[in-house]
Chain A
Amino acid sequence: MSSILDTVSSEIETVVSRFAALVRRVGQRHRLSDADLEDVLQEVRIRLWKAHSGTGQGSEQIGRVSASYVYRTAVSAAIDLLRRRRARGAEQTVTLEETEEPVAQGSDPTWSVEQSELAEQLTRALEAITPSRRPVLRMYLAGYSREEIASVMGWSEAKTRNLLYRGLADLRERLAEMGISCEPTA
């Protein structure tokens, strides 16, 4: 009995590892938190176990479970995990402030102060941007490329470029009105 269960466990691990490798490959481009993914994968393992217990089928059949099935299980597990975390109120995700705090340029305090001031003005300027242009602008400022924005929104490259160009022009205009120079630095 136990050795059968260990074989099942090993088969589940194979299936999950295969899917995890795919997600990690994609996740490298998206700043995916490995800890978050690990939590989801563990939930997937448990769900596969439960599903297997319900059918009483052999371990070799788990080995043949589709990647598509694992994917759907992973999405469902991720949604449940996020919901539980929010309900607990314990923010366990790795926040951007932990991973993306900009590196100060050397120890130049002037540069740091300038950046902080710019951040404040940027917040105000963004709030003043037309709501229809703001999301694409935020995506771009958050690090998304034009191609990624087009892909997420389902837009053509031309539409994305156009919206982004106008959004950035708006933003610079607002910042200029606030006294932030858009002229080339010496």
Chain B
Amino acid sequence: MRTDGLTDERLREAYQRVLAARGGRGRERCPTPEALLAVLRREGPEERRLETVDHVMGCAACRSEFDLLRSIEQAGAGTERAGATVLRLFQRPAWRSVAPVALAASVLLIVVAGQKLRSRETPDVERGTADMVLLLGPAPEIAAGAPITFAWGPVPGARGYELEVLDGQGSVVLAEKTAETSLTLRDDPRLVPGATYRWWVRAIAASGDRRSSVMRSLRVRTK
């Protein structure tokens, strides 16, 4: 706003130094994640929101969290407005017993409309991006007791990879880190015959950036 010796730009640079000097202090006095969300949604008294902002803008850790929530909120604002016509797919399907013919017709219409809309999107979104981790193996079904080799394609710049195997409830049953692009397990008791799992790999770059693979299923056959 002013262009004299103490310009806004110079004040901003000095303020970044203030924040940097504070670094990652204890979080005891930080507002809760819900309070950060309340600011973004303009919920609650303005006075309280201002108090939260006063803290967040002087706290590097809170600021990172605020930026994350802010990005999700803003991206979601558009989808909320556009989301009026959507199916509630993950609710319990009590609707199945109500007017099945009319419902089937509606679903058919939505499917057709949805497929037309999806066909206009970029192919990259459908297939995943080039810098994602490409899973190579094992096959979807393996014999119990046999060695299992998880393998994936290298990601440029990755300094390591994390492999996670989840059970049917989404709980992690196996988590391993490696610098290689494959990992072999031999007769691992954590993978039970007859069970179906899902697994995925995350690449960690030297900068701390992470890229994940899609999830893939893995069934261990009974002996």
By a beta-carbon cutoff of 8 Å, the part of chain A in contact with chain B is: 1-3, 5-6, 9-10, 12-14, 17-19, 21-23, 25-27, 30-42, 45-47, 49-55, 57, 60-72, 74-75, 78-79, 82-83, 86, 89, 91, 93-97, 100-102, 115-116, 118-119, 122-123, 126, 131-132, 134-136, 138-143, 152-154, 164-165, 168, 171-172, 175, 180-185
Decide if B151 is an interface residue (CB 8 Å cutoff).
Answer: no
Q: 4 closest Cβ contacts across the A-B interface?
A: A68-B83, A71-B76, A66-B86, A2-B140
Count A-B contacts at CB 8 Å.
291
Report if B16 contacts A (CB, 8 A).
yes
- Across the interface, do B49 and A153 meet the contact criterion of CB distance under 8 Å? yes
Is there contact, CB below 8 Å, between A91 and B61?
yes
Name the distance in Å between B136's Cβ and chain A's nearest Cβ.
Answer: 14
* Contact in complex: A37, B140 (CB < 8 Å): no
User: Is the pair B14, A38 in contact by a Cβ cutoff of 8 Å?
Assistant: no
Give, as a whole number of angstroms, the nearest-CB distance from A127 to chain B. 10
Give the CA-CA distance A184 to B46 in the complex, in Å: 37
* A-binding segment of B176-184, B185-193, B214-222: B214-222
Q: A9-B216, A55-B90, A138-B15 are in contact. List 5 more A-B contacts (CB 8 A).
A: A2-B140, A5-B198, A68-B86, A69-B89, A122-B14
Question: Given A22-B75, A100-B20, A135-B50, does the pair A141, B208 have CB atoms closer than 8 Å?
Answer: no
Are A34 and B210 interface neighbours, CB within 8 A?
A: yes
Residues of B within 8 A of A (CB): 1-6, 8, 10-21, 23-24, 27, 30, 32-34, 37, 39-40, 42, 46, 49-51, 53-54, 57-58, 60-61, 63-65, 67-76, 78-80, 82-83, 86-90, 92-93, 110-111, 114, 118, 121, 125-126, 128-129, 140-141, 166, 168-170, 196, 198, 200, 202, 208-212, 214-219
| Contact across chains for A49 and B215 when beta carbons are under 8 A apart | yes
Most buried by A among B10, B70, B140: B70
B89 and A96: CB pair below 8 A?
no
- A110 → B minimal CB distance (Å): 15
Query: A141 is contacted by which of B11, B71, B110 (Cβ under 8 Å)?
Result: B11
B1, B49, B53, B212: the one contacting A42 at CB < 8 Å is: B212
**Could you tell me the distance between the alpha carbons of A50 and B172 in the complex, rounded to whole angstroms?**
13
Is B68 a contact of A37 with CB atoms below 8 Å? yes
A96/B19 in contact, CB under 8 A: yes
Could you say which of A9, A61, A89 contacts B214, with CB atoms under 8 Å apart? A9
Check B121–A18 contact: CB distance below 8 A.
Answer: yes
Which B residues are CB-close (under 8 A) to A153? 42, 46, 49-50, 53
14 A-B contact pairs sorted by A residue (CB < 8 Å): A22-B75, A26-B75, A30-B74, A79-B69, A82-B69, A95-B60, A96-B16, A96-B19, A131-B50, A131-B54, A135-B57, A138-B58, A168-B11, A171-B11
